[in-house]
Amino acid sequence: MVIKQYALMKRLRTPHLKEEDIRKDIHQIESGMRGEKRLLQKLNELRLPGPYRIFSDLSLQSGEWKVQIDCLVVTDRCCIVLESKNISDDLYFNENSEEFYKVDRAGQEIVYRNPYYQLLKHIRFMKEFFQLSNFPEMKVTGAVVLTAKSCRIRQKPAHYPIFKLESIIEKILHMYESPSSISLTNNQIDSIEQTLWKKQSTFIHRPLCESYQISPNELIRGVECPKCGMLGMKRTGKVWTCTSCKQKSRDAHKHAVEEYFWLVSKEMRNRDFRVFCKVDSVYAASRMLNSMDLQIHRAGPKTFYTQKKDR
């Protein structure tokens, strides 16, 4: 979630060596989200003779194998995996080197992971997923969808199913109409839908300080004012007060705790809360932590808190 990167930028003491890396990741994440939104809007035009369901942003797991699929179209004849890529400029898919890169307007080559192999991996995953879920054996196919408004495919192997957004409806119709040995009923598709939602997996991502190799000591600590955004609200009694705009809040610390889990660690002790939120009292910190919807872990004299698994 890009909200975590924004939280890190907000608390990072600048200038910082990792600042540019974080900004690039924010741009990439937001670009991907815009591309997926364009794809879903385009799929509103899809009409098939049989029943079908469209799923977006699926997080699935089979044993230790975890995948995130941008879009999945389950029809009565086949399952279609769609990978969205919002990359502009001139695009090149080199079959010999297996590289995917773009040449920007300045003539610079920028290399990306080849989405063709990501698509093949997700197709293999869905075949295994359906088999392990005891569904009828069905054809699984797919395509990479280039969603950028200003992109040109300059080089691509003929067998790569990589298409521009404007043609994807016709490509889906072609995949749907290709020979199939199966015809699922509406009830069977309903069953697949229920299984997909039931098997949605919450990915546990590393705290961003660990991912970017940033020391937590480099972060600006304090509770953020919900009105003006200043970090460093003061706690008096049971109320937080902003020293800048004088806004008051009883639970402003809750967002700070969430940001701690995003940025610093998956576990929080009383001392961690006091340091991050700038609270002096052990007892006040304990009251606030115990009043939150957190999982409490006790190991002898040690107590720590984590977010609940369904979050």
Share of the chain above pLDDT 70, in %: 99
pLDDT of residue 201: 84
pLDDT at 190: 96
Higher pLDDT pick, 309 / 136:
136
Q: Please give the domain boundaries of the chain with CATH numbers for all domains.
A: 2-198 (no CATH), 221-307 (1.10.10)
Are the C-beta atoms of residues 35 and 25 closer than 8 Å to each other? Answer: no
187-220 residue pLDDT tens = 999 999 999 999 998 777 899 999 999 999 999 9
Say what the pTM is.
0.88
Instruction: Give the pLDDT of residue 311.
Output: 47
Q: Label residue 89 left, alpha or beta by phi (over 0 means left) and psi (-120 to 50 means alpha).
A: left
Instruction: Please report the pLDDT score of residue 182 as a whole number.
Output: 87
Q: Read off the pLDDT of residues 46-87 as tens digits, 9 standing for 90 and up.
A: 999 999 999 999 999 998 899 999 999 999 999 999 999 999
